Structure 1
Amino acid sequence: MIYVRREKLKFILMVAAFMISMGLVFKLLQINPEVSLSNLIERSVDEMHLVPSKPDVGKKMMEIKPNVPKAKCGLAKPCPADGLAFKMYSGATNIVGPQICFDGKMLIQKETRGNWLGINIAVINEETGEHVKTGSFNMWTGKVEELIEFLKSIEDGSFVLITTFDDPYTKLNDEARTLLAELGSAFISKIGFRDNWIFVGGKNTLARVYFEQHMKNDRDTNKYDGWPEMIEMEGRIPRLR
């Protein structure tokens, strides 16, 4: 008997709530004629769609990522508008070749065995930021005269990016060292047999830019048998226009 009374009470309360709700709706329609019953229903449906639901188990929530420009040459973050990115690697032993990336372009591609042995030079026009030429000079079996001729041909207002592979030393002479020092190298006089060396400098450029690393071939500290550890370097060169 008590259960039946409770059910009747629930029914009466539900009817009363419905009547009150309908009364409020009709009163709202009288106050604002622009509001229609269909609009109210559509709004209610839209609000229902806005209620977040729990993701299904095992599914990842989609993330909206900002449209961030990708950094060139694999740098951690993009260069500012007035900069040109570069990233360089020396070779590793006589197996893995060197690499030079400049402004998103691979000027010297890392290869294995035989290619890019010795001293490798990429020349960049400072005014335009364009790649002018690339030279590779074997300092074990090649001719140092070819390196000297290339260095003398570099025009004023040029940046140079230099990396080594295997041996940069054996055929290197004083004239070649002097020309490389004039480009801004501080370590060229210390380069020895199978040393690793990477360098960024320039010939009479408006922006004085110098980056350099040198890893000595030392049996006590070498990572490999007969060769030092590969070295890498990254940065940016000012853009003139």
Structure 2
Amino acid sequence: AGVIRYAALFLTLLGTWFIVQTYFDQSWKTISLRSWLGEALLPQLMCRNQKSCPQNYFAFKIISGAANVVGPFICFNDEIHSSVNSLCSALNFTFSGTSGQLLKAGTFDMYSGDVNKLDTFLREIKHGTIVLTASYDDPATKMNDKIRAHFVELGSSHVSKLGFRDNWVFLGAKGLKSKSPFEEHIKNDKNTNKYDGWPELLEMEGCAPRKMD
């Protein structure tokens, strides 16, 4: 009975929307079905992305931090992960390339922390693992050639140019045979910075292919 009532309500709303669209003056502002029914009644895409992903692909969204105020955000396979550690300067997550399951997460202070912790984290990543990275505050002061080489191995094209207070978002994988297409980088430049001393945040979304055994 409950299902029938909801179906009747939906059909009533849909019919009303059709009448408004058909018979009211066309100079009125267009009423979209989304605004008429409301966001809650329409299905949300995974990670709230703008486009759906095909079968055997994982939806993802990565948002860098904003200055040293708002922490980074990562969504993978519709699971949200964000940093609550105000001291971290880089946020890294690893996921199974086959199942999409979270394997390991780490936050690292790249301004004054121990970079060997990040080195260990990256060295232990196994073949076929997907890696997502988002910067916050300053991702580069402690970054050395060894760390940069790890990210190059994961498919990064921009890590070699990463500098003080740059913003950077990246998705790569252990065992890639070419560069990752999922990477964005913006330089810290006082002439173009959106915030006082930091560039604007970066947001990247897409579909990462599943590793097929």
Same fold (TM over 0.5): yes
1:181 aligns with 2:155: no
User: How far apart, in 2, do the equivalents of 1:177 and 1:208 lie?
Assistant: 14
**Structure 1 unaligned residues grouped into runs of 5+:** 1-51, 56-61
**How is 1:66-215 mapped onto 2 (pairs within 5 angstroms)?**
69-109=43-83, 111=84, 114=86, 117-205=88-176, 209-215=180-186
User: How far apart, in 2, do the equivalents of 1:150 and 1:219 lie?
Assistant: 33
- What letter corresponds to residue 125 of structure 2 in structure 1? I
- What letter corresponds to residue 214 of structure 1 in structure 2? H
User: How far apart, in 1, do the equivalents of 2:79 and 2:178 lie?
Assistant: 22
Alignment partner of 1:162: what SS? strand
- What letter corresponds to residue 203 of structure 1 in structure 2? K
The CA RMSD measured in Å over matched residues stands at 2.8
The answer (yes or no) to whether the contact 2:128–2:173 under 8 Å persists in 1 is yes
- What letter corresponds to residue 135 of structure 2 in structure 1? T
The answer (yes or no) to whether the contact 2:156–2:179 under 8 Å persists in 1 is no
User: How far apart, in 2, do the equivalents of 1:206 and 1:124 lie?
Assistant: 18
- Residue 31 of structure 2 corresponds to which residue in structure 1? none
**Greater relative contact order, per chain length (Cα 8 Å cut-off, separation 6+):** 2
The answer (yes or no) to whether the contact 2:63–2:201 under 8 Å persists in 1 is yes
User: How far apart, in 2, do the equivalents of 1:209 and 1:191 lie?
Assistant: 16
The answer (yes or no) to whether the contact 1:207–1:238 under 8 Å persists in 2 is no
TM-score (norm 1): 0.68
Q: Deviations over 1:17-53 (max 9, x none)?
A: xxxxxxxxxxxxxxxxxxxxxxxxxxxxxxxxxxx99
TM-score (norm 2): 0.76
Q: Deviations over 1:79-134 (max 9, x none)?
A: 2222110011000010000000011101225x5x715x212111011122211111
The answer (yes or no) to whether the contact 1:209–1:237 under 8 Å persists in 2 is no
**How is 1:18-33 mapped onto 2 (pairs within 5 angstroms)?**
none
The answer (yes or no) to whether the contact 2:156–2:180 under 8 Å persists in 1 is no
**Structure 2 unaligned residues grouped into runs of 5+:** 1-14, 21-35
Name which of structure 1's ranges 77-86 and 159-168 shifts more when overlaid on structure 2: 77-86
User: How far apart, in 2, do the equivalents of 1:144 and 1:210 lie?
Assistant: 26
Shift of 1:237: 1.0
The answer (yes or no) to whether the contact 1:70–1:77 under 8 Å persists in 2 is no
Q: Deviations over 1:135-157 (max 9, x none)?
A: 11101121011110110000111
- Deviating beyond 3 angstroms after TM superposition, the runs of 4 or more aligned structure 1 residues are 52-55, 205-210
Alignment partner of 1:200: what SS? strand
- Tell me the matched-pair count: 180
The answer (yes or no) to whether the contact 1:70–1:78 under 8 Å persists in 2 is no
The answer (yes or no) to whether the contact 2:67–2:199 under 8 Å persists in 1 is yes
